[in-house]
Amino acid sequence: MAQQTEQDEKCLELMAHILLAELVWYSRIESKPELPVWAKKTLNECKEMSTANNMLLAGLVAKQTEESLNRTVDYTNTKGNKYTNTVGQILTHLVNHSTYHRGQIIEKLKGKIPVMPITDMIAFMREN
């Protein structure tokens, strides 16, 4: 039973990391103060963050133009290194970062739940 709890906690940790990373990158693009990228969150906190992040990021993406996607953003990463990337590169990274960690979560859920969620982007687009 302890191993199941550890796996559940790791899934929750990864989901919180995905959501916190979205906020970090949003903050960098919008020149706002950053939050830590690894912090413990409850499942309810993750649900609330997911809803809030979706609204923030949808608003951010909706206002982008070709020019603004090419705007550079200077930032310091969590290790203290300075970098510059375009808004478009950052948004692309956000999608890939989320996909990577969601794959880790799915791997940990295999055999633990009766029906695995469909995580393909195209399936999501079909439903929405």
**CATH number of domain containing 63:** 1.20.120.450
* 82 vs 114: CA distance, rounded Å: 45
Mean per-residue pLDDT over the chain, rounded: 91
Give this prediction's pTM.
0.87
Q: Which residue range forms the structural domain that includes residue 82? A: 2-127
Look up residue 99 and give its amino acid.
T
- What is the pLDDT at residue 3? 53
Number of domains in the chain: 1
- What is the pLDDT at residue 49? 96
pLDDT band for 4, please (50, 70, 90 cuts).
Answer: low
Across the range 103-122, mean pLDDT stands at 86
Environment class of 56 (CB within 10 Å of its CB; exposed 0-12, middle 13-18, buried 19+): middle
pLDDT by residue (tens digit) across 40-83?
Answer: 999 999 999 999 999 999 999 999 999 999 999 999 998 999 99
Across the range 97-119, mean pLDDT stands at 89
Nearest residue to 46 (alpha-carbon basis) of 78, 5, 17: 17
Nearest residue to 102 (alpha-carbon basis) of 29, 27, 46, 25: 46
- What is the pLDDT at residue 63? 96
The phi-psi region of residue 111 (left if phi > 0; otherwise alpha if psi is between -120 and 50; otherwise beta) is: left
List Cβ neighbours of 13 (8 Å cut-off, separation of 6 or more).
Answer: 38, 40
